[in-house]
Chains A and B, each alone.
Chain A
Amino acid sequence: MGSQGGWGQSKEFLDLVKSIGEARSKSEEDRIILHEIETLKRRITEPDIPKRKMKEYIIRLVYVEMLGHDASFGYIHAVKMTHDDSLLLKRTGYLAVTLFLNEDHDLIILIVNTIQKDLKSDNFLMVCAALTAVCKLINEETIPAVLPQVVELLGHQKESVRKKAIMALHRFYQRSPSSVSHLVSNFRKLCDNDPGVMGATLCPLFDLITIDVSSYKDLVISFVSILKQVAERRLPKGYDYHQMPAPFIQIRLLKILALLGSGDKQASEQMYTVLGDIFRKCESSSNIGNAVLYECICCVSSIYSNPKLLNAAAEVTSRFLKSESHNLKYMGIDALGRLIRINPDIAEEHQLAVIDCLEDPDDTLKRKTFELLYKMTKSTNVEVIVDRMIDYMISISDNHYKTEIASRCVELAEQFAPSNQWFIQTMNKVFEHAGDLVNAKVAHNLMRLIAEGFGEEDESADSQLRSSAVESYLRIIGEPKLPSLFLQVICWVLGEYGTADGKFFAPYITGKLCDVGEAHSNDDTVKAYVVTAISKICAFEIAAGRKVELLPECQSLIDELSASHSTDLQQRAYELQAVLGLDAPAVESIMPSDASCEDIEVDKSLSFLNSFVQQSLERGARPYIPEDERSGMLNISNFRGQDQLEASTHALRFEAYELPKPPMATRTTPIMPTPSTDLVTVSDLSYPKEIPQAAPLPSIPDIVPTALGLKLRLDGVQKKWGRPTYSSPTPSSSTSASQKTVNGVQHHDGFETVSSQARDISYDSRRQKVEVSAEKQRLAASLFGGTSSKTEKKQLSTHKGTARGSPANIEKARPSTETTASSESAAEKAVPLPPQPPPDLLDLGEPTPGSTPLIDPFKQLEGLLGPTEGSSSISSDATVAAKPPDLMALFADTPSTGLSGNVITSDIYAADVKSRLPTTVNRNSHNGGTAVTHTTLVKKGPNPQDSLEKDSVARQMGVIPSGNNPNLFRDLLG
């Protein structure tokens, strides 16, 4: 019977555990536990319980809590137990308390005093127990109460106490960095004789260095020398693990070195020797050996690169990938992802291994591989990768990951889309399968892309894009269970462009839209989109001089919505009816066709009403009193007033409650500060009255009705989605602008045919499962092909690069516009700013289509990069052209520094805190190294410089076709 009786549990406890072990169902288990809770509640309050008995009760309480029930009635007894003098009881008390209470629990305050006392105890085990509790229980407020004692314990004679004190300080640092900021220098003292303490110190140091690398550069030599000593087995045998000398300490040191060496040539050079040693010595037969090797790869890929070490890393990576163990494959994929950032060529060798992992039943491995593919996506392989991702996205049910992969698909598609057709198709697929999961912003971007097309240069392509979008949406629209967001996009596009090319007739589209409205009767947003789309179509029809007669189902939908509970829907329905009653010129000025991108000028002072105001005043109306002059009075007059009201609700208010807000308030129309302060009239001014008023009045400037009509239309849309991110026009317009240039440049090359062909091929290949290897090779070729593509493609990617560079330029312009935008009224929010791509970018793009550019675009790219100028050449130097003389110099330098730590043998960890190196680590080399930092540290994504650099490196790599499978490329390129 094992040793379960070890600490003398009673029969009761044994029976409890046994009965739970034998419980057949969760409900049976619950019954047993509930019974146990009752027993404990009764027993624990009995007077004069023997301590040993009490200890057992506490243990049983923990057990109850462990099985998911509430044992809070006994917490106070656990707290009391910590006060006991006996170590056994005290430790039991601490254990129970740490398991029961979170750091914000009220009872913590009762324990602080005990902890303070125990920290001063003569018995080091008491101190240890208290320190363990400190790590788990002390929160930000109570840190000061124990901090002095913990600091004192850093000098305790027992190493286990020192170690725990360091961990406790680290914990304090995590909870509240400011509380221990004055003690940070303590962590710098690596010189503890005990390897355990030294190993523990590495934990806080790692955190500190992660935050602030530059102030720890002087420790590089110390870390390197410690690592060297560890690797040379200078530590006590006790730290060996599976014949490896202190592997966990090695790993931690390697992590720290990776941080310190990142982008710092000089620091990195000091590490080369020891890293090379570890690569050589480390045996790959054991799991832990591989762990150290993997960490070495991470380190090598993070520090300033060294060709020799990179080779070693690549070798280990390929060993991982070829391994049978899934764990090693996983690590291999991860390592590959790190290495290709430095040298994309490495991936080529492992194409088939990567594809094997992609098709592996192991889900973890698959996801990791997708992560790798995501990192290596280029314009040449984006189609294959995104297709794969979407297939996988469809196949999984885990919403969390589905969201992530959907947003990655969108990101890649936006960044690398070879053609707009493809982009729209891809977006359709993503929306169809994960529409409810993607960010609403994505939908707006899609609408914007369709609306703005590729810009001015190619109007026919724009309309072609639109009609293809319309066509695809009309095909899809009937499908059941389309996500709401996707339906919104569909409705908007159909409303805006459904009848634009004359291919489809208005009644057909309105009929489809009505079906959508009916099918989604409980989704107000979709219905709002439907009504607005219908009214747009009707307006366009009227404006074109055609007679509009609503279909019966359409009429009934509108009737239904006019009586809707949603004021927004009601308003839209009335708007539609009002539009139907107008004549062609009026309608055209209210809803001009294809004007979603037009700028709307808003007369904020509402000067056109001056005459009206004047008249009213003459007729004896009371003059308007500005808001700030009538404090305390009711002010529902406009939007900003409302905001202020909301802000002021936190303070005490003495005035009476205001009248209920009229439904008007939900509308974003800036309600004109009408001359009459009579509130009732304001709220009565509902929209249908406004239109007939506005349109026939000839005195009002032309722009006003347009503004009004458009404003209302857009506002409804915007209001629904009203995210703060969307509310200012600049961010979205900048993305769309970049989009536009991307696509605009791309479009000329006749690339569409190529791409569609490539897609067909990949589809075909998936169907033909017979020839597995051929299929795999093809897939590999399409995934990894970027490195050996033809000049045509390279040009493409160059433009890609320039295009992607543009957001940065636009972003510069953003802040100024943003401030003005935010101060403007809500009505203007949806108005897109005209995109202004920098002229030099366009110039670069224009001459290129079809022909080889006279100027090397790469040179210009470098110019664009600005601060990192020349970085690409440096990184390529390091990766491609291994310069032998340089290398020798590197290695010649290192031994001297490496030995410096070696000499001291009596005091192993005597760290050269005062490094011989000047702390101002060679600014020049630092600057040069930024390229590497960027590629390694910055996550791929919106950073245009990063992707630019990556692309440039990729291009340099890819100049020489590999010749591995040229035939396949011919297939792909057509």
Chain B
Amino acid sequence: MRAITRKPHASVLCGRPENVSSFIESDAIFGPDTRLVYKHYATLYFVFVFDSSENELAMLDLIQVFVETLDKCFKNVCELDIVFNFNKMHTILDEIVLGGQVSETSSDQVIKAVDEIIKMERSSNSLTLGPKTGSGRQGR
């Protein structure tokens, strides 16, 4: 099972110097047999917490998959995108991790699924809510 935290776990991560491994054994925080992998891009920290049924290096790459997908969906993702559109970020995350398990690892597949959802949402939007001012501003 895997819980996923999005905010930097201040006490644990901020104390870590540069150039150390990205893994932390975190039984003290999350209970026995948990570890934590983090990766940060500029000011954004991505933290995955998982147990021994996963491979640390692979999780590091799963973060990469997640970020790549975010990047493609948001066209150059930045902090603000995630702050303002965290529901979209959840949509993406739900495609990758479901019920505490990695369900999809192909960035292409995730994007395909998310695009379908957005398209459908838009059409349902226009049907039920009428034309919406904001929808045209999607993207840059």
What is A's interface to B at a CB cutoff of 8 Å? 1-9, 14, 17, 21, 50-52, 59, 62-63, 66, 85-89, 91-92, 95, 99, 123, 125, 128, 132, 135-136, 160, 163-164, 167-168, 170-171, 174, 196, 199-200, 203, 206, 210, 238-239, 241-242, 246-249, 251, 255, 287-288, 290-291, 294-295, 325-327, 329-331, 361-365, 367-368, 398, 400-401
Contacts and interface: CB of A to CB of B under 8 A. Distances in A.
B53 A255 contact: yes
* Chief secondary structure at chain A's binding surface: helix
Interface string B60-104: 111011000000001100101101111110110010001111111
Interface of B: 1, 17, 19-25, 27-28, 53, 55-58, 60-62, 64-65, 74-75, 78, 80-81, 83-88, 90-91, 94, 98-109, 113, 116-117, 120-122, 124-125, 127-129, 132-135, 137-140
Most buried by B among A9, A62, A363: A363
Nearest to A96: B87
Contacts of A368: 25
Contacts of A287: 57, 60-61, 64
Given A8-B137, A91-B91, A251-B58, A398 B20 contact: no
Contacts of A398: 28
Contacts of A326: 19-22
Nearest to B102: A248
Interface of B is mostly: helix
Contact of A327 (B57, B64, B85): B57
Contacts of B56: 291, 327, 330-331
Contact of A196 (B109, B121, B138): B109
Contact of A167 (B78, B84, B103, B140): B103
Contacts of B85: 3-4, 6-7
Contact of B84 (A6, A66, A330, A364): A6
Given A14-B84, A132-B94, 13 more contacts: A3-B138, A6-B134, A7-B87, A8-B133, A8-B134, A86-B127, A88-B124, A206-B53, A248-B62, A287-B57, A291-B60, A295-B58, A327-B60
B120 A87 contact: yes
A329 B85 CA distance: 37
A170 B101 contact: yes
A123 B120 contact: yes
22 contacts: A6-B138, A7-B85, A7-B138, A8-B135, A89-B128, A132-B94, A135-B99, A163-B104, A164-B103, A167-B99, A167-B103, A170-B101, A171-B100, A239-B105, A247-B105, A248-B102, A248-B105, A294-B57, A326-B19, A362-B20, A363-B20, A400-B27
Contacts of B103: 163-164, 167, 196, 199-200, 203
A221 B92 CA distance: 35
Contacts of A63: 86
B107 to A, nearest CB: 8
B111 to A, nearest CB: 10
A288 B121 contact: no
Contacts of A17: 83-84
Contacts of B58: 247-248, 251, 288, 291, 295
Contacts of A164: 98, 103
B20 to A, nearest CB: 4
Contacts of B139: 3, 6
B87 A174 contact: no
A91 B120 CA distance: 11
A329 B83 CA distance: 35
A199 B122 CA distance: 30
B137 to A, nearest CB: 5
A196 B21 contact: no
Nearest to A292: B58
Given A3-B139, A132-B94, A364-B20, A203 B102 contact: yes
A495 B139 CA distance: 80
User: Of residues A14, A52, A329, which shows the largest number of chain B Cβ atoms within 10 Å of its Cβ?
Assistant: A52
Nearest to B15: A363
A246 B133 contact: no
Nearest to A4: B84
B106 A238 contact: yes
B78 A2 contact: yes
Contact of B98 (A21, A167, A174): A167
